[in-house]
Amino acid sequence: MAKRHLHDIDTNVDPWAFVDDVGTFRLADPQRSSYLYFPLVNEAGIMSAITPKLHGDINASQHEFLTPPTAVENLHNKRTARNFWVCEHGVGPWSAAGNSATQIPEERPGGAESVSMEGGLLYHEITRENDERGLRAEITNFAPVRDDMVELMRVAVTNTGEKTKTITPTAAVPIYGRSADNIRDHRHVTSLLQETWTEEYGVLVRPTLSFDERGHTRNETTYGVLGTEADGTAPESFYPVVEDFIGEGGNLEWPEAVVEDLAGVSAGTEVDGYESLGGLRFETTALEPGETAEYVVIQTIWTDDPDPATLVERYGSSEAVAEELAACQDHWREKSSAVEFDTGDDTFDQWMRWVTLQPVFRRLFGNSFLPYHDYGRGGRGWRDLWQDILSLLLTEPDNVTDLLYNNFAGVRFDGSNATIIGDEPGEFTADRNNIPRVWMDHGAWPWLTTRFYLDLSGDLQFLLRDQQYYKDLHVDRASEQDEAWSPEDGTELYTDDGEIYEGTVLEHLLVQHLTQFFNVGEHNVMRLEDADWNDAMDMAPERGESVAFTALYAWNLRDMSDVLDALRAELDVEEIEIARELQTLLDTLSEPVDYDDPEAKQARLDDYLDTWERTVSGEKATVAIEELAADLEQKAEWLYEQLRDQEFIEDEDGHQWFNGYYDDSGRRVEGDHDNGVRMTLTGQVFTLMGGVATDDQADAIVEAADEYLYEPKMRGYRLNTDFDELKTDLGRGFGFAFGHKENGAMFSHMAVMYANALYRRGKVEAGHRVLSGIYEQSKDFEVSRIYPGIPEYFSERGRGMYTFLTGSGSWLLLTTVTEVFGVKGRLGDLRLEPKLLAEQFDDGEAAVTCQFADRRLDVTYHNPENADVGDYEITAVSLNGDSVDFERTDDGVVIDREVVTGLDSEAVHDVDVTLE
């Protein structure tokens, strides 16, 4: 036999394809792609990942895993998948999930077994058919839309052969039942805590204690695997203990109990102190040719008293499961329809449904609990919280205003913020691990989101709502600790008089921006502190500076100043109250600081931080809004000038762009270097977005990014060039292999923000190139190997990584709605500023359906001459057939909010826009 090489192996597969117009897709041979997984989740709190072989875990939190925690590499390494055995008498066992020791050759090309996957909103279905055996299994998994932490699995087994078969079915789901911390740490000792018993319908496990970072506490959580036949009949017997099920020398992919056809134990058995299994043996049955038998497996977690009877009643039959599945589909389809696109590309329109759900997934999963997201202990980061709200304002606006408001309670009076964010809105937990870190970008995101909210709602009053501040161990931007503070003191900031201190939302935003303005390093650029958006720029805490985020703060200051003017005009308020302490930072109103002098700036920040200790005075000062706006504008103006002059660089070849960083040795990071030219995308994005870059500078940036960052094999822009150095005076990212994650991957999040910035600057073709590159790469399944959606980044080989949970979902939806389709607000009024290319119209039409002012609008752009962006302008707008008045802006038109709010809130309204 001729010797073959590793790369000769045929890995070709057909890509997934959408099969309807509600996002359902099918993929043949999904098991031939590794690292694929699909999310299942509900509002009750069940979180699952599921692979084509039913691998992936089911959990409710870091400390409550029903099945063993599985990081991505374990998806193909560990034998802990959900399994369902069909033992045919006279033939032997077959795993309907493909998890038996002998099955892999059968499902490879040319084998007897074919597999296909259907992914829908939100269910996962695998069909596996074995021609030689004459068996087909359809396995459907989903989380019902109920207040139960349940993942349901329906298994339909069909005899596709010509003779009657006698089969014994067995469901086998390992019950791990404890904290992810124990996957190695005390794995065995914690199995001694397991109390495992069988009831009429299944196996329940309730550990006596829970061992985790909180110490040893009495456990309250129960884990269960229950099952029924189609008509509700209970299993015949049970295998509650792993070691009994697998037998000596067996394993979960060749369990002796199944292979040797050993009966299980009956209901009412208790076995304590062992690794547990949800092993349910169903009655042996005869299956005629063409006949199907169905089974239901209920995988569940109870945080209070277990109530298996209720779950069996609710889900324990084929009929019940069919109803629940339909309800689940309705629920998720409706969610994904919050925004609908109708372009010339139907695949794109469907793909966007999955993107639309990604921020919802992150709201539910947080940043942990899917296989790539094997870090963190639940919850999510501060910046992610705010950025996800950008799109949740479009898709789930009802819940979001409170979330937005509550989040301001996480701001510390020194401008930093809480970093451990709980599941409930406004729930911030004290940092138990005592990690004194400040991410310097954190203060910038709340304004972006608030501004978007104000544009959509016109609710300027929001800025004047009072909210408390966060207080914990860390003081003076985490440089000091308040030794007198203990968690029992709570996490609210108090006044000297012992009252909880409150300030307006506006005051919180001022605190975040003013502290940052003065917090500069030796180049008079804002200090990088422990990192910015790029978490991996974390090794320049002393001398590092982030030009990239200084630009964002500069833009915010300018934008806040504009909104203050509007506040004055609209709400007729001339003065506002702010904390007395904050006056120190409004230097132009009292004692101006020389902005050219970085030391003077730092000294002023120190003055501010010295004005209080543990508690604040609670006294307020009155400031004229006009003066406040002028102070902010003056600061912004200074920053704009300084960045344009000082940070716009040119390399030997004449390419020009913005330097984004200074390292811990105080050196400028970007430009010519002995190891090759150094450039970051982050440095360009915010200088472009907020207009720090002049038009000429913007042109130069696009050219330089095309030259140094564009990577054809990933169809996109890298986060940075190859520094070819383990740059320990900048960040851990430079320890990652080049082309991966934060070291030069095509990192979708920053790439989409780059596109957003380009659109804002009118560079539509360049912006479109970025977005369509990401879309093309994502759907190029043979390379990306991901289900529909945008991944966090693409690896050096082009594979999509960290699927589903990424801030790029939010930014992509936002950018597509507000920039590409140009449907956005202007402090409450409806703005239409389309930037669609001719190719994005289908027969001269392109449409988006979305919410504005609580009304559902179907906005259709009519472009009869198929003109390109730049060649068309809006000539007419009609609403439900009647022409509407508008005010013209540079890029489009504005329509009074009253026109929209006058509409019936139940119906969908046609907005027809003519472009000529």
Footprint of ligand G1P on this chain (CB under 6 A)? 367, 381, 383-384, 533-536, 742, 749, 792, 802, 806-808
CA 130 to chain CA centroid, Å, is 38
Residue 366 or 691: the one with the smaller Cβ distance to ligand G1P is 366
* Two tokens, residue 671: 């430009």
Smallest gap from residue 814 Cβ to ligand G1P (A): 13
Smallest gap from residue 357 Cβ to ligand G1P (A): 15
Residue 255 or 773: the one with the smaller Cβ distance to ligand G1P is 773
Residue 494 or 549: the one with the smaller Cβ distance to ligand G1P is 549
Smallest gap from residue 411 Cβ to ligand G1P (A): 18
Smallest gap from residue 233 Cβ to ligand G1P (A): 45
Among residues 189, 191, 152, which one has the least CA distance to residue 324?
A: 152
How far is Cα 753 from Cα 611, in angstroms, rounded to an integer? 38
* Greatest alpha-carbon span in the chain: 94
Alpha-helical (H) ranges within 444-546 are 445-457, 505-518
Question: Are 30 and 52 a contacting pair, CB within 8 Å?
Answer: yes
Question: Are 558 and 690 a contacting pair, CB within 8 Å?
Answer: yes
Residue 117 or 394: the one with the smaller Cβ distance to ligand G1P is 394
Note the residue count of the chain.
916
Residue 379 or 691: the one with the smaller Cβ distance to ligand G1P is 379
Read out DSSP for 723-774?
--S--TTT-GGGGSPTTBTTBTSEEHHHHHHHHHHHHHTT-HHHHHHHHHHH
Among residues 493, 535, 212, which one has the least CA distance to residue 378?
A: 212
Residue 253 or 441: the one with the smaller Cβ distance to ligand G1P is 441
Smallest gap from residue 736 Cβ to ligand G1P (A): 11
How far is Cα 229 from Cα 297, in angstroms, rounded to an integer? 9
The SS3 assignment for 390 reads: helix
Question: Are 113 and 130 a contacting pair, CB within 8 Å?
Answer: yes
**Residue 570 CB contacts under 8 Å (≥ 6 apart), including other chains:** 460, 827
Residue 118 or 792: the one with the smaller Cβ distance to ligand G1P is 792
Smallest gap from residue 721 Cβ to ligand G1P (A): 17
Residue 452 or 533: the one with the smaller Cβ distance to ligand G1P is 533
Smallest gap from residue 370 Cβ to ligand G1P (A): 11
φ and ψ of 878, to 5 deg: -130, 150
Smallest gap from residue 749 Cβ to ligand G1P (A): 4
Residue 151 or 742: the one with the smaller Cβ distance to ligand G1P is 742
Label residues 278-287 b or e (16+ Cβ within 10 Å = b).
Answer: bbbbbeeeeb
Smallest gap from residue 541 Cβ to ligand G1P (A): 16
Label residues 35-56 b or e (16+ Cβ within 10 Å = b).
Answer: bbbbbbbbebbbbbbbbbbbbb
Q: What angle (nearest 5°) sits at the alpha carbon of residue 451, between those of residues 448 and 457? A: 140
Residue 494 or 787: the one with the smaller Cβ distance to ligand G1P is 787
Question: Are 167 and 284 a contacting pair, CB within 8 Å?
Answer: yes
Residue 281 or 442: the one with the smaller Cβ distance to ligand G1P is 442
Question: Are 487 and 534 a contacting pair, CB within 8 Å?
Answer: no
Smallest gap from residue 542 Cβ to ligand G1P (A): 21
Smallest gap from residue 241 Cβ to ligand G1P (A): 40
Residue 431 or 651: the one with the smaller Cβ distance to ligand G1P is 431
Smallest gap from residue 6 Cβ to ligand G1P (A): 31
* Two tokens, residue 613: 């200790």
Smallest gap from residue 367 Cβ to ligand G1P (A): 6
Helix (H) or strand (E) holding 137: strand 135-142
Among residues 879, 870, 883, 881, which one has the least CA distance to residue 915?
A: 870
Residue nearest ligand G1P, Cβ-based: 807
Torsion sign across C-alpha atoms 844, 848, 849, 850: negative
Residue 383 or 855: the one with the smaller Cβ distance to ligand G1P is 383
Residue 443 or 834: the one with the smaller Cβ distance to ligand G1P is 443
Among residues 813, 854, 827, 222, which one has the least CA distance to residue 570?
A: 827
Smallest gap from residue 380 Cβ to ligand G1P (A): 7
Among residues 780, 770, 897, 915, which one has the least CA distance to residue 835?
A: 915
Q: Note if the bond before 75 is cis, omega within 30 degrees.
A: no
Residue 638 or 736: the one with the smaller Cβ distance to ligand G1P is 736
Residue 354 or 533: the one with the smaller Cβ distance to ligand G1P is 533
Smallest gap from residue 159 Cβ to ligand G1P (A): 46
Smallest gap from residue 806 Cβ to ligand G1P (A): 4
- Count the Cβ atoms, other than its own, within 10 Å of residue 262: 15
How far is Cα 682 from Cα 658, in angstroms, rounded to an integer? 9
Label residues 788-827 b or e (16+ Cβ within 10 Å = b).
Answer: bbbbbbbbbebbbbbbbbbbbbbbbbbbbbbbbbbbbbbb
Residue 48 or 534: the one with the smaller Cβ distance to ligand G1P is 534
Smallest gap from residue 382 Cβ to ligand G1P (A): 8
